[in-house]
Amino acid sequence: MERRSFLKGAAVIPGMGATSLLAEALPAVSRAELARKGGYRPGRIDNEYALFLPGEREALQATPTVSHFGPGVVTAHHQGASKTMKVGDVLGGWQLMALIPWLNGTPTAVFEKHVTHRGALVYLTVEGGVIANIPKGIGDLSKIRPRPINAQHGVRLERPAQYVPGPDAAGNYILNSNEDPCYENVAALGPEYIGWTLVGNEQAGPLKSVMLEADGRSRQLGTQPEGQQQWAPDVTGRLFDPTHMLPSEYLYQYTHGYSKRTLLGGYLPVADTGVWNPTYKVGYEVMLLLTPGEDGRLIGRVRSILPAGKGDLIPPGDSGYTTQPSGVTTLDRYWNGSAEEFYAELVGIWNHWHHFFEDRMQVEIPDPWLLDGARAGITLSRCSYRGLRPTYQVGEGAYTKIPERSHALFPVAHYEFVWAQQLWNLTDEVEPYFQHYLENYVLPNGDFLYNTQDQVEAPLNVGIFLENSARAYDYSHNLEALQKRLPILRRMIGYVLDRYEYSKRTFPQTDRRYGLIWGSPEADLGDPHDDAPESHPFYYQNAVWTWRGLHEHARCLNRAGSENQVAELQTESRKIAAIAAEMRANIERSLRATIEAGTPEMKKAGITPFTPFDTHHKPTDLSSYENHRFMMDWFTADWGDPKLDEGHFRHREVAGMQIVGIATDGAYPRVSNFMEHGTLAGRIRQEDYRPFLLNLYGQLCYTYDSGNRYSPEDAMMPGGFPGEGSPYGWSAVVNSELQATLGLRWLLCYEEHDRDLVHLQKAAPKHWFGNGERIHVAGCPTRFGVIGWTTTASGSGWQVQLELPENFAAEVAVHIHTPDGRALKSASVGTVQQDRIVLAKADLAGKRQLTVQVS
């Protein structure tokens, strides 16, 4: 089944109320005045995934120490108090969860503490002190509730029965306010997406991973002894069902929305889900992990709150209960392993992923929830691959194919998988995946194996793979890896150049198709039985991405040849550069002629054409694929003409095809966010950074589950959930999971394609620059070398400390968006502009460190 063939059905979704996406609680004039005048604060809610109340952060940082291990006990100390503790005992709010006699050769104690919305697990040894501190997103279970809505000024996102194109009223409400978009004001507009939580590892992929529903139960059924299915098919039920470990299943029944679904540590492939029953005032917490390896084992922990006065629910001899300082009794039970096994495996998973990220690129920002989301995208994607074998699906679902075929081989998923990790300084870690894909899924003629099966994908993917290759060399300078890729890349180049030469042979130079690339614009529109030059118009995004890929590949070959004295690479570079330059001229000529041939209505609206014959396009008409795919590929190619970028954005606005800055997908209140990195790529290039932030937070608040980062290909907005509509729409996919990963990197560090200029903090919201706030990045790769910086805000201004590699050959623009909106006044180095300090190459020459004082 094609990824979106299910969309070609009824216009109305059964069961949906006929409400507006923006509630009409105020007269139109009032909202118009708000939008025009601004000067208001939008409604806000707290981000309870990251929130600390006063003193709580410090309370979790004040961990115990241990001085002696005895048989079944440990001597612990906390803020002047000492206690010999056994498992279950509490000291200063820290509960001893396990004693591991031999963890990497050392006795280790595991403690846990909760505050209002957060918590922590710490591992302590006598010699090493705290050897691991794992943050938790689950705190006091009684605080769990559906995400609040704070509909100030009558602005509220609600689900319509059918999406009627119109102004992005909710998005404009945020953009016209005196605040930058953030979780607190974007999430306040409407209900959250409630998704499933992935538990997996990097080796087994969907074969062993499980998805937990909102109540902590796995979707997967349990295995049964041979023959038992015939007479007792329902004995085992779910593979994992925490309700079987509760004192009473009835009292803990799940009520919609009263679930907090998180990943332990913020980004581990380990579930940490809290559930609260508002009727009986009890709740439980579920932790579930999968041990490493293709034959990994699931191990879980279930903690439940005992109802007041119900001590008789605890079986005689059950030692797993503890009376907390608050007087609440909790019961801890472990599934498929002991407490010691659970915590020993957990710290191994934490150490692996914590070092995976921190050893390559360190990031500290005032919004740690956003950082966790960026890292989680990489984690969930890597845990959805089967070793090096690719996927489109995250976990198990409608797109899962084993052995890998069709959707699992989707080139769009793999290029983004590689691209995102490269930007996070994980080029070496993703290189084996890149090479494996090239060797196994590129055909002898240079086409993708995906194309020989169910669908035909766009040839523009060749250009993106070429740029990924160029970026890999820019960031790693690994000549051996480049040379290993080159024979396959040459086949891929031959494949698209055959299509380029066809248009030159077939059409005169005066024809607007001359010098373009024929082929499908999107997999759902391609047919392997109808794959010919006449099957589709000559889409501009195929042409511009082919040009971009050849341009970057030629630059890369010249650089590699020069740095390593390989003349053959420089010769090859010159040939490809000449083709790219000729191709650029042909595309420019075609675009000029097409725009000139457009109707007066098109010219007046200033919209950008999609094909050479797109000259009679009504500005108010915009098809789903034009909106969520074609213009996205245009944006990511970065053609370099801001007017043409703006023409596509203007077309979306005129046609009314966006919600909170996200491209809608057809006649439903749905967004197809698997290509929304295109919107982010286009917005980050614009002077106004706030639409970029609106799109980024809009995705995170409505097309992701805010805690476990489950992100489907087509998210219903707002208040969606898996199981709604076709399984192809609500399946979480690699591309959707990686939107925050790409977005945060571009927010922090964006390299211009065609200028030697690196932007730092280009889209950082202004509240990140408030007094006492800090932005710190170390190990950030650019094609000019690995850089780092720290921006610290104080009452007197801002201090920016730069760490640069040798021979850094680019300008740097350090963006500072002042909380009160005023212009920057002075800087100790560089040129002061309205909201940035531009450091010229001369300012940076010969310097490895540089401090800039800004006021």
Give dist(CA 179, CA 42) in Å, integer.
8
3-class secondary-structure state, position 23: coil
CB 43 within 8 A of CB 151: yes
Give dist(CA 840, CA 837) in Å, integer.
10
Residue extent(s) of CATH 2.60.420 domains in the chain? 757-854
Give dist(CA 215, CA 224) in Å, integer.
23
Q: Among candidates 416, 380, 389, 433, which has minimal Cα distance to 209?
A: 380
User: What is the structure's pLDDT at 307?
Assistant: 85
Surface-to-core class of residue 58, CB atoms within 10 Å of its CB (0-12 exposed, 13-18 middle, 19+ buried): exposed
CB 139 within 8 A of CB 276: no
The alpha carbon dihedral of 210, 213, 216, 222 has a sign of: negative
Radius of gyration of the chain (CA): 28
Give dist(CA 762, CA 693) in Å, integer.
11
Give dist(CA 469, CA 656) in Å, integer.
37
Give dist(CA 447, CA 441) in Å, integer.
9
CB 637 within 8 A of CB 675: no
User: What is the structure's pLDDT at 20?
Assistant: 43
Buried-exposed string 819-842: b where 16+ CB fall within 10 A, e elsewhere = eeeeebeebebbeeeebbbbbeee
Give dist(CA 235, CA 734) in Å, integer.
35
3-class secondary-structure state, position 356: helix
Give dist(CA 56, CA 559) in Å, integer.
52
CB 242 within 8 A of CB 300: yes
Q: Among candidates 802, 754, 740, which has minimal Cα distance to 423?
A: 740
3-class secondary-structure state, position 492: helix
Q: How far is CA 370 from CA 144, 375, 679, in A?
A: 21, 9, 18
Q: How far is CA 162 from CA 166, 667, 668, in A?
A: 12, 6, 5
Neighbours of 33 (CB within 10 A): 12
CB 206 within 8 A of CB 391: yes
Q: Among candidates 105, 104, 122, 101, which has minimal Cα distance to 113?
A: 122
User: What is the structure's pLDDT at 11?
Assistant: 29
Q: Among candidates 750, 634, 738, 77, which has minimal Cα distance to 385?
A: 738
User: Which residues, at least 6 apart from 290, have a Cβ–Cβ distance to it below 8 Å?
Assistant: 199, 200, 201, 204, 208, 209, 210, 269, 296, 297, 298
CB 737 within 8 A of CB 709: yes
* 424: DSSP letter: T
CB 385 within 8 A of CB 202: yes
**Cis ω for the linkage preceding 325 (within 30 of 0):** no
User: What is the structure's pLDDT at 353?
Assistant: 98
Please state which CATH number belongs to domain 757-854: 2.60.420
CB 691 within 8 A of CB 174: no
CB 277 within 8 A of CB 142: no
User: What is the structure's pLDDT at 13?
Assistant: 28
Give dist(CA 259, CA 257) in Å, integer.
5
Give dist(CA 832, CA 855) in Å, integer.
10
CB 218 within 8 A of CB 309: no
User: What is the structure's pLDDT at 514?
Assistant: 98
Q: Which stretches within 163-277 are classed as H helix? A: 169-175, 183-186, 228-231
Q: How far is CA 49 from CA 147, 253, 260, 263, in A?
A: 11, 23, 9, 11
Task: Enumerate the β-bridge partners of residue 301.
Answer: 287, 334
CB 120 within 8 A of CB 132: no
Neighbours of 308 (CB within 10 A): 11
- Residue 237 one-letter amino acid: G
Give dist(CA 273, CA 141) in Å, integer.
10
Give the pLDDT means over successive 10-residue stretches in the chain (855 positions). Answer: 41 31 42 62 97 97 97 97 96 97 95 98 97 98 97 91 90 96 98 97 93 96 60 70 89 96 98 97 97 97 86 68 83 96 98 98 98 98 96 88 84 97 98 98 92 80 98 98 98 98 98 98 90 96 98 98 98 98 98 98 98 97 96 98 98 96 87 96 98 98 98 94 89 97 98 98 98 98 98 95 96 97 97 98 96 98
Give dist(CA 406, CA 523) in Å, integer.
10
CB 679 within 8 A of CB 662: yes
CB 158 within 8 A of CB 20: yes
Give dist(CA 227, CA 293) in Å, integer.
29
Residue 749 has φ and ψ, to the nearest 5°, of -150, 115
Give dist(CA 747, CA 780) in Å, integer.
13
User: What is the structure's pLDDT at 2?
Assistant: 52
Residue 529 has φ and ψ, to the nearest 5°, of -90, 0
The alpha carbon dihedral of 584, 585, 587, 592 has a sign of: positive
Q: Among candidates 735, 791, 729, which has minimal Cα distance to 762?
A: 791
E strands, 781-855, where? Answer: 787-794, 797-803, 811-815, 831-832, 836-839, 849-854
Surface-to-core class of residue 803, CB atoms within 10 Å of its CB (0-12 exposed, 13-18 middle, 19+ buried): middle
Q: How far is CA 807 from CA 492, 781, 784, 803, in A?
A: 34, 14, 8, 12
